[in-house]
A and B are shown apart, each in its own frame.
Chain A
Amino acid sequence: MLSPKRVKHRKMQKGRMNGFAWRGSDVSFGDYALQATAPGWVTARQIEAARVALTRHIKRGGKVFIRIFPDKSVTKKPAETRMGTGKGAVEGWVAVVKAGRILYELDGVDAETAKAALRLASTKLGIPTRVIARADEVI
């Protein structure tokens, strides 16, 4: 699973996900892409599950580009713990995704395979997505 090698501060505040992903919202590397249509957190586990679904479906050949990275720590208090006594322990890592963000890109595969693979990958994520193609937009 993806996670940062080292961080300056282990625990983070929740933050907000207002607005759109004005950067990272264009198909830049491949021919087909999976784009988030609503904001949300994508966990490292989900990113890995979607990557595995993609690579297994396209078998060999083709390239997968992961355009998000889980660099935000998420903490959780143990069950049945009284409130207080500080913030919980780091439980995992998430990528903060705003609406419009490109999550994955595929290159070197035919349209049908790419779309089917990206649809499979989208089922592993907790946010609504859609499949887009570079050829859809000339300008």
Chain B
Amino acid sequence: MDTNLSVELRTGLGKGAARKIRASGQVPAVLYADGAAAVQLSVDPTRLLEIFRKSQNRNTVLQLAVGGETVSALVKDAQRHPVSRALLHVDFYKLSADKTVIVDVPVKTSGKSAGAALGGRIEILRRTVKARCAVDAIPEAFVLDVTPLEISGVIMASELPSSDKVKPVVDRDFKVVACLPKLKG
């Protein structure tokens, strides 16, 4: 999938300059990295939203064309207007091929659990789990097989798939998916 996005460097800072950029159809943005100065940018929101609409993945690695060079980046944060839901500002986080990055990886389930067949229901208790990933191995989601899960069974964070390139960040263990019992009454 094409994740190239051309961005422009901007010099104006503050809300006045940001408003002018928004009025021109662009969105103010910032690109930062560990130990490097932040770079102020402006970006086309239509193209950015199109990339994410196609990928349906919050952790899509973008290829930003900044002043003649190409930089890999993640969207760290995006601000939206409360009512119009238009993009107001975007934070890009620059990736380095030799470093790892912590991202929120969505949790999905697959299969029908044994507990659900008996009237229980599968509940995803954590929609996302933080994971430390290599830049070239950021997963789209943790897909958990719930087939063996019985009523009152849980899948803990420590049971999430882990590899050299993708490691869930678990300081204290927590429940990720549970099969809840049938409602009474």
Q: Which residues of A contact B (CB under 8 A)?
A: 20-22, 25, 35, 37, 60-61, 99-101, 108, 137-139
Contacts and interface: CB of A to CB of B under 8 A. Distances in A.
26 contacts: A20-B81, A20-B82, A21-B82, A25-B82, A25-B83, A35-B83, A37-B83, A60-B183, A61-B121, A61-B183, A99-B83, A100-B81, A100-B82, A100-B83, A101-B82, A108-B121, A108-B123, A137-B80, A138-B52, A138-B53, A138-B55, A138-B56, A138-B57, A139-B48, A139-B75, A139-B78
Contacts, number: 35
Contacts of A139: 48-49, 52, 58, 75, 78, 90
Given A138-B55, A139-B58, 19 more contacts: A20-B81, A20-B82, A20-B83, A21-B82, A22-B82, A25-B83, A61-B121, A99-B82, A100-B81, A100-B82, A100-B83, A101-B82, A108-B123, A137-B85, A138-B53, A138-B57, A139-B49, A139-B75, A139-B78
Nearest to B80: A137
Nearest to A38: B83
Nearest to A107: B123
Contacts of B49: 139
A22 B84 CA distance: 12
Interface in B56-85: 56-58, 75, 78, 80-83, 85
